[in-house]
């Protein structure tokens, strides 16, 4: 990770927040309460490896909260990455962070796709998110966001087609939980959601807009690049091997 990625990571943390954080320098521990890896992973400041006793203490803390030991690793943390690999942690979900000027996405052609936005999620939004595995615990993450936020719904004719969540942190707005139902894909729904998100962000003073997507999601990565978004950073997770953990 370059220094330029740090504002994006900070915006992601602010707009998709854990229930609680606890810092024991250089480690930040997160209580995700079932909200997924992003809000549950520990992170480490700096590029160096951890003292063994600090690593053990972090693992014990995560287990006490019924969380598997999990760390988020950025590209400059090679020593930590190697240490965790030697400790039996496997790589999970490498992620690209994409960003773009708000103006670039605000200028997209929206097509004939009406968008609804709401401060609280509508029942149909929750239903669609549930189809993508975004259940109540992950929707609770959205409710914890303290700054400006909106829940987005796009339609194809009179049918609900896709959803997204956007929140702003300073000059950066982040899009989360973007999902289009399979039968409505390749019809411009994601483009319409991204454009509306950018217009929303512009109205709230944000100059940049971003999102995170797993590297394995080829269609989404291709779409974001085609729309002019650029990679501004990335990370992966290291999850302790369950069999080794039980030994």
Give residue-wise pLDDT tens across range 104-139: 999 998 888 999 999 999 999 999 999 999 999 999
Element (H, E) at 211: strand 208-214
**Residues 121 and 139: beta-carbon distance below 8 Å:** yes
- Pick the more confident residue, 243 or 71: 71
Residue 187 DSSP label: S
Q: Does position 244 have pLDDT exceeding 80, yes or no?
A: no
| Domains delineated in the chain | 3-96+235-246 (3.40.630), 99-232 (3.40.630.30)
CA distances from 42 to 144, 158, 182, 227 (A): 19, 43, 33, 32
Structure tokens at 231: 């990679």
CA distances from 125 to 20, 29, 32, 106, 211 (A): 26, 31, 22, 23, 19
Q: What is the pTM of this model?
A: 0.94
Would you state the pLDDT for residue 148?
97
Distance between CA 105 and CA 195 in Å, rounded? Answer: 5
Structure tokens at 181: 């139902």
Would you state the pLDDT for residue 242?
62
Q: Does position 183 have pLDDT exceeding 50, yes or no?
A: yes
Q: Counting every residue, how long is the chain?
A: 247
Query: pLDDT (tens digit, 9 = 90+) per residue, 189-235?
Result: 999 999 999 999 999 999 999 999 999 999 999 999 999 999 999 99
**Counting Cβ atoms within 10 Å, is residue 104 exposed (0-12), middle (13-18) or buried (19+)?**
middle
Confidence of residue 156 (pLDDT cuts 50, 70, 90): very high
Name the phi and psi angles at 45, rounded to 5.
-75, 140
Q: Does position 1 have pLDDT exceeding 70, yes or no?
A: no
Distance between CA 62 and CA 136 in Å, rounded? Answer: 21
Query: pLDDT (tens digit, 9 = 90+) per residue, 12-68?
Result: 999 999 999 999 999 999 999 999 999 999 999 999 999 999 999 999 999 999 999
Would you state the pLDDT for residue 18?
97
Element (H, E) at 95: strand 89-101
Q: Does position 3 have pLDDT exceeding 80, yes or no?
A: no
């Amino acid at each position: 990770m370059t220094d330029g990625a740090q504002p994006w990571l900070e915006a992601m943390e602010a707009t998709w927040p854990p229930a609680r954080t606890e810092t024991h320098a250089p480690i930040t521990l997160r209580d995700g309460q079932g909200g997924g890896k992003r809000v549950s992973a520990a992170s480490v400041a700096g590029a160096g490896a951890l003292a063994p006793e600090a690593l053990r203490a972090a693992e014990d803390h995560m287990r006490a909260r019924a969380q598997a030991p999990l760390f988020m690793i950025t590209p400059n943390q090679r020593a930590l990455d190697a240490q965790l690999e030697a400790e039996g942690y496997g790589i999970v979900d490498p992620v690209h962070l994409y960003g773009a000027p708000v103006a670039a996405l605000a200028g997209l052609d929206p097509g004939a796709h009406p968008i609804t936005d709401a401060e609280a999620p509508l029942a149909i939004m929750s239903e669609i998110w549930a189809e993508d595995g975004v259940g109540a615990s992950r929707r609770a993450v959205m409710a914890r966001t303290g700054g400006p936020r909106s829940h987005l719904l796009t339609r194809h004719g009179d049918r609900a087609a896709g959803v997204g969540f956007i929140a702003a942190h300073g000059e950066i707005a982040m899009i989360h939980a973007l999902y289009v139902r399979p039968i409505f894909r390749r019809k411009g729904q994601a483009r319409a959601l991204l454009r509306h998100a950018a217009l929303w962000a512009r109205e709230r003073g944000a100059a940049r807009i971003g999102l995170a997507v797993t590297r394995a999601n080829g269609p989404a990565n291709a779409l974001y690049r085609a729309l002019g978004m650029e990679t501004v950073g990335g990370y992966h997770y290291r999850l302790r091997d369950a069999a080794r953990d039980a030994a």
